[in-house]
Amino acid sequence: MSTSKNAVALRIAALLALLTLVVGCVSREQNSAATAAPETVPLTELSDVTLQIGDQKGGTESLLRAAHALDNLPYKVVFSTFTSGPPQVEAATAGKIDFAITGNTPPIFGAASNAKVKVVSAYDGGGVGDQVLVFDDSPVTTIADLKGKRIAVGKGSSAHGHILAQLKNAGLTPADVELVFLQPADALSAFQQQAVDAWAIWDPYTAQAAQQFPVRSIGQAKDVTNGFWFGVASDQTLADAKRNSALQDFLIRFEKAAHWAQDHPEEWAAGYAEAVGLDAEVARVSQSRSLRLPTELDDEVIASEQQIADLFAESGQISTAPDFANWVDTRYNEALRPLLVNN
């Protein structure tokens, strides 16, 4: 009887040890900051690859074309237009796109929902064009005056993170205001009809609204949060040797295009206006302050994103702050570093 009991105990102990090992493996897999990069494939062997790239208001495609950065591609590229960053993250998770550049908040929402994506590049947009707008005749003159007011904002967008930071800075919480979650086109309509008291929005919509209506800004992201944009890649893409290699080349091309735009602001603004159907002055203002310049995806940038993630959790906008570093993959840093703005 004692021998039988000992045998059972040993089997239970073995099962528990196995279960612990399995759980540990799953946990490490879920929390892994990056999968091992596959071996690089020569560009001459990528003719059968098509990169699906998400875009917003034509900003990525038009920049690359204006700078002739898509000339002599060794692979194909197809662009898809999205209203904002959160749908891009969803599309990348579903494997519908390989890569997209988003504002600073969509990757946080993606991480909070365990999205199958990684942040692979960073861009300094300055945060000047991400503003909180009110009409000139509004009694609202400061963020503190928004208490009890309705604010239009895209859920999970960079403007969402911006308005949370502004509210905290003014001693307010989301419970003190009414956040009306609308995509830019619907938010513009609501703002124009004054169905909302303020609009938290980014360029080129900020510049467009300022041209069309008598508005003023009561806050900009530069003062309260980082002004970064991030390149987000699908886990599927990063695990595929050919698409991974094509994406590295694409990121280098975008990096060079951004520097071309910085050196040729008038030519770039004119090309942007024509490509996306914007007024020339709106395009000029927008790109003069919101050009996405590649920067190092380093610990400081990651820490600044963690602060935003913590703010979302603190504000009750997400249940738990994700460990943002677990959704970062720095595999392209070395290839991109030579032309970064902070080198």
Check whether 165 has a pLDDT greater than 70.
yes
pTM of the model: 0.87
What DSSP element (H or E) covers 164? helix 158-169
Angle formed by the axes of helices 205-212 and 280-290, to 10°?
Answer: 140
Q: What is the third-level CATH fold of 32-126+229-339?
A: D-Maltodextrin-Binding Protein; domain 2 (3.40.190)
- Per residue in 325-341, pLDDT (tens digit) is 999 999 999 999 998 86
300 Cβ contact partners less than 8 Å away, ≥ 6 residues apart: none
| pLDDT of 58 | 80
CATH of domain 131-223: 3.40.190.10
| pLDDT of 176 | 98
Angle formed by the axes of helices 265-276 and 241-263, to 10°?
Answer: 120
Q: Give CA–CA dist 112/235, Å, rounded.
A: 16
Same fold, 32-126+229-339 and 131-223: yes
Residue 19: pLDDT band (50, 70, 90) is very low
Percentage with pLDDT > 90 across the chain:
86
What DSSP element (H or E) covers 101? strand 99-102
Q: What is the distance of C-alpha 112 from the center of its chain?
A: 13
Residue 284: pLDDT band (50, 70, 90) is very high
- β partners of residue 153: 181
Q: Where along the chain do its domains lie?
A: 32-126+229-339, 131-223
Percentage with pLDDT > 70 across the chain:
89
Residue 51: pLDDT band (50, 70, 90) is very high
Q: Give CA–CA dist 209/142, Å, rounded.
A: 19
Structural tokens at position 156: 């999970």
Hey, is 295 helix, strand or coil?
strand
Residue 93 CB neighbours (<10 A): 19
Average pLDDT, rounded, for the chain: 90
Structural tokens at position 255: 């990096």
| pLDDT of 230 | 98
- Per residue in 244-264, pLDDT (tens digit) is 999 999 999 999 999 999 999
Residue 8: pLDDT band (50, 70, 90) is very low
Structural tokens at position 110: 């993606």
| pLDDT of 126 | 86
**Residue among 157, 94, 114 at smallest CA distance from 317:** 157
Q: What is the distance of C-alpha 166 from the center of its chain?
A: 19
Classify residue 43 as exposed, middle or buried by CB count within 10 Å of its CB (0-12, 13-18, 19+): middle
